[in-house]
Structure 1
């Protein structure tokens, strides 16, 4: 894949299959972890049927990049913002397609203190994804287990 069309100005979204799938979700997690180098982040997903599998692939990529992942389960974007700030973690990713049609899904990414990922940071993550995809250099790193957050 030479062109990654799911990266938008302030989020990631695309049609399921070619534009966004589990392999791409894994690579996004891997690139996010390697570029931003967060110690721990939260992940969550909405009610779409594909959100859970995309979230798990994303978490695997993050963990392979050395990031500890805290899975808050079924959530909306506002819960990711809250958990990122309240738990004092280094970032968060919500798997959600928001208002897009059923055959789409996507991701909202935030940094520490629930700061949104801006377009330029998103483009740098996309660029890291492209470099890794073209070079095929994905070395596995050992991270802590993916923990589930319970109230």
Structure 2
């Protein structure tokens, strides 16, 4: 997948069919974009139990590192654990690889910068920086 699928950008997160709408390339580009915003600060990453989550998380982390972010990778972890780690480690934000309540074939990313999830406007700007 060379182009970022626009339809994966939802109101407050990123979600799509793994292998069709999003893949490792998408995760890497997202990591680069979030890492650029982090400007060397810490970002906590974690993933749910879906089969595609570790693959996407690895590519996401590679993109974050390539952009100079300081990454704390929790591996498989529930979303609240990421927020706890962010507060304890004074991190800039979190990215959880999760498809939430959607079928297992779907996956995505929930991004928090500071104490708040990304707004639709911030997600739109992030998407533009991934193109």
Q: Same-fold call, TM > 0.5?
A: yes
Which of 25, 28, 34 aligns to 1:26? It is: 28
Q: For residues 33-61 of structure 1, what are the alpha-carbon distances to aligned partners after superposition, in whole Å with 9 as ceiling and x for unaligned?
A: 11342511110001111100100000000
Secondary structure at the aligned position of 2:6 is classed as: coil
Q: In angstroms, what is the RMSD of aligned CA positions?
A: 1.4
Name the SS of the counterpart of 2:7 in structure 1. Answer: coil
Q: What runs of 5+ residues in structure 1 fail to find an aligned partner?
A: 131-151
Q: Choose 1 or 2 for highest CA Rg.
A: 1
Report Cα offsets for 1:4-57 as digits up to 9, x if no partner.
221111001100112110011000110111134251111000111110010000
Corresponding residue of 1:57: 59
Say whether the 8 Å CA contact 1:38–1:90 is kept in structure 2. Answer: no
Q: Corresponding residue for 2:37?
A: 35
**Higher alpha-carbon deviation: 64-73 or 32-41:** 32-41
Residue in 2 aligned with 1:7? 9
For the 8 Å contact 2:45–2:96, the answer to whether it is kept is yes
1:120 offset after TM fit, Å? 1.1
| In structure 2, C-alpha distance between the alignment counterparts of 1:53 and 1:82, rounded to whole Å | 23
Return closer, same or farther for 1:102/1:128 CA change in 2, 3 Å cut-off: same
Structure 2 contact 11–119 (Cα < 8 Å) conserved: yes
Asked whether the 8 Å contact 2:38–2:92 carries over to 1, the reply is no
User: Would the aligned equivalents of 1:95 and 1:107 in 2 still touch at CA under 8 Å?
Assistant: yes
Give the Cα separation in 2 of the matches to 1:109 and 1:73: 16
Question: Which residue in 2 is equivalent to 1:72?
Answer: 74
- Written as runs of structure 1 = structure 2, the 5 A alignment for 1:1-151 is 1=3, 3-112=5-114, 114-130=115-131
| TM-score normalised by structure 1 residue count | 0.80
- Provide the C-alpha distance between the structure 2 equivalents of 1:36 and 1:119, rounded to a whole number of angstroms: 18
